A and B are shown apart, each in its own frame.
Chain A
Amino acid sequence: MDFFEKLGKIDTRIIYVLFILAILIPLVSPLGLPVTVSQHTKQTYEVVNSLQPGDTVIIDIGISYSGAGDVLPQAIAVFKHLMSKDVKVIFTGVQMDSSKIIEDLIKPYEEAGKEYGVDFCNLGYLAGGENAIAAYARDLKKAYPLDFRRNSTDTLPILETVNSAKDVNMFIFFSVQNADMYVRQITEYQVPLVGGLIATIAPQAEPYLHAGQLKGMLVGLRGAAEYESMMGSPGIGLASMDAQSIAHLLIVFFIVIANISYLGTQNKTRSRKEASQ
């Protein structure tokens, strides 16, 4: 086997080990690379920042634990922003894991003095996916007779003046699935729609942002890092960026050496064919 062939036949386990090290080493020993804020995040921050104290928003946590690593830091940062502005938050969820994720999100704020049912509430998971969104956007209390903590939704002060999606000042969603169902079901209520998406599906949602159907969009862990940077409140997002950088570089390196190997062996094969002719 010559050099080019060897380059293209590296053992998969070596690739895996290098990948783990590329992520672990920058986490153990951070590089401290600064993160510049993209236009997407600036736009999202400005839209959320335009909310006033006392405004009410619905946040749909369409996050499952399988994708939480990429999107949950966004939700943590945005929720922190909203709490700092005394905006009231009604949490809903269309993923089975939503209920528990929301409970984990609100617990620190309850312990810090915010009141459940007044400053926020957890309506929990509603089965049905897009159908669930359509149902609660149309009639919130009918779709949710009880919240996740088994309180009657008729008794929650935060829901006193909120009967449907048109009664809130903004609708924010965090999704590991897609943005399509939110755009489809919420746009008719003419509330500003802001989304936080897992990086994998964000490119497919760009047309909605371009068309103005989404007023803001956060993309993956980088979006969380940028939002934390704008808030001046570093968290998991910013802490992960060095590891993300090195891992990206490593993938690019793999693609480059694989193609050097491919082009090198193609060249050799061509020369051998020409020589034999």
Chain B
Amino acid sequence: MSRDPVIWVSSIVTIIAFSYLFKENELYKAVEHLYVGVAAGYTLVMGYNNIVSKVWTPLTRDKNFLVLIPAILGLMLYVPYVSKQYSWVKRIPIAAIVGIGMALTARTQIMQQFVGQIKAAVGPVKNINSLIILLGTVGTLCYFLFTLRPSLPVKTGSEIGKWTIMVTLGAAFGAGIMGRISLLIDRMFLIFRDWIPLIKIR
């Protein structure tokens, strides 16, 4: 068996976590709470590191005082903990975060997800597969059209779209199972290779 304390603790907490599958128990709840606490603590560490890198360093090394603006905005997020009267102030940095995020996503979405995908969909129909892709794409779009009066072409497209979406969801399900099994295999390596050396593969 391994002599590494990290492997021992990891394996034991892993087995306790898996015990939930058979019956919820107090040990599982303890481990669950421990994980949430450690994850939250880790978030604090990462936040601190980012602030040192993005605010403290430019301020002290480069004398870039512009970083004080987002720093003050960032601190405004915590005003509700200090004053109930001015708690509305936290909306300003939230608005900034949302505004920046929305703009960054939307501006590139138009070119990449919208124009780029339409260009690929209406490209030359070279074979039966590209015809299926074109019909399936149009069908899926028809399926999501709720504001048009359902004429025969839209209804037909919608029906094609329904079947396309079902197969797409089936593919997503199959892929989802694949992904989850891989994660479980990884945990098996921890317990039965690193801790109890049953698995000889390295």
**A138 to nearest B CB, angstroms?**
10
The answer to whether the Cβ of B8 comes within 8 Å of any Cβ in the partner chain is: no
In the assembled complex, which residues on chain B have CB atoms less than 8 Å from the CB atom of A222? 178
CA gap between A210 and B117 in the complex, in Å:
9
B124 sits at the interface (CB 8 A): no
User: Pick the contact of A134 from B21, B104, B175, B181 — CB < 8 Å?
Assistant: B104
User: Which residues of chain B are near A174, meaning CB under 8 Å?
Assistant: none
Question: Which B residue sits closest to A134, measured CB to CB?
Answer: B104
A11 to chain B: closest CB distance in Å? 11
A125→B133 contact, CB < 8 A: no
Residue of A nearest to B52 (CB): A146
Known A-B contacts A16-B21, A145-B53, A184-B112; the reply to A203 vs B58 at CB < 8 A is: no
Give which listed residue, B21, B100, B120, B177, contacts A212 with CB less than 8 A: B120
Stretch at the interface among A38-46, A165-173, A241-249, A261-269: A241-249
CB distance from A273 to the nearest CB of B (A): 29
Cβ of B43 within 8 Å of any chain A Cβ, yes or no, is yes
| Chain A contacts for B180, CB-based, 8 A | 200
Q: Are A243 and B188 in contact (CB under 8 A)?
A: yes
Chain B residue at smallest Cβ distance from A207 = B117
Q: For residues 167 through 182 of chain B, which have their beta carbon under 8 Å from a beta carbon of chain A?
A: 168, 171-172, 175-182
Q: Contact mask A223-262 → B, CB, 8 Å, 1/0?
A: 0000000000000100110011001100100000000000
Is residue A187 within 8 Å, beta carbon to beta carbon, of the partner chain?
yes
**A68: chain B residues within 8 A (beta carbon):** 186
Chain A, range 86-133, C-beta contacts under 8 Å to B: 96, 99, 124-127, 129-131
Would A67 and B183 count as touching, CB distance under 8 A?
A: yes
Nearest Cβ distance between residue A25 and chain B, in whole angstroms?
10
A140 at the interface (CB under 8 A from B): no
Chain B at the A interface: SS class: helix
Q: Is the CB of B22 within 8 A of A13?
A: yes
**Distance between Cα atoms of A219 and B175 in the complex (Å):** 9
Task: Verify A145–B58 contact, CB threshold 8 A.
Answer: yes
Contact A204 B22 (CB under 8 A): no
Inter-chain contact B46/A96, CB cutoff 8 Å: yes
User: In the complex, A16→B189 CA distance in Å?
Assistant: 18
Residues from chain A with a CB closer than 8 A to the CB of B5 are none
In the bound assembly, the distance between CA atoms of A195 and B193 in angstroms comes to 30
Question: Known: A16-B22, A96-B43. Is A243-B185 also a contact (CB below 8 A)?
Answer: yes
Q: Contact string, B30-74, partner A, CB cutoff 8 A, digits 1/0? A: 000000000000110011011011100110011000000000000
Measured between alpha carbons, how far is A20 from B179 in the docked complex, in Å?
Answer: 16
B88 within 8 A of A: no
**Cross-chain contact B57 with A27 (CB below 8 angstroms):** no
Shortest C-beta distance, A33 to chain B (Å), equals 14
Does B126 touch A at the CB level, under 8 Å?
no
User: In the bound complex, do residue B21 and residue A27 qualify as a contact, i.e. CB atoms below 8 Å apart?
Assistant: no
Q: Within 8 Å CB of B189, what residues of A?
A: 27, 236
Q: Are B47 and A127 in contact (CB-based, < 8 A)?
A: yes
Q: Judge if B199 is at the interface, Cβ distance under 8 Å.
A: yes
Contacts of A183 in B (CB 8 A): 112-113
A21 to B109, CA, bound (A): 45
Q: Is residue A28 contacting chain B, with contact meaning CB distance below 8 A?
A: yes
Cα separation A69 to B104 with both chains bound (whole Å) = 31
Of residues A184, A198, A247, which shows the largest number of chain B Cβ atoms within 10 Å of its Cβ? Answer: A184
B-binding residues in A (CB < 8 A): 13, 16, 19-20, 23-24, 27-28, 30, 66-70, 96, 99, 124-127, 129-131, 134, 144-146, 152, 180-181, 183-185, 187-188, 198-204, 207, 210-213, 219-222, 236, 239-240, 243-244, 247-248, 251
**17 pairs from A and B in contact (CB 8 Å cutoff):** A23-B184, A27-B192, A28-B200, A70-B182, A152-B61, A183-B112, A187-B111, A187-B112, A200-B179, A203-B175, A207-B117, A213-B112, A220-B175, A240-B182, A244-B181, A247-B181, A248-B178
A-B pairs with lowest CB-CB distance, top 4 = A69-B186, A211-B120, A199-B179, A184-B108
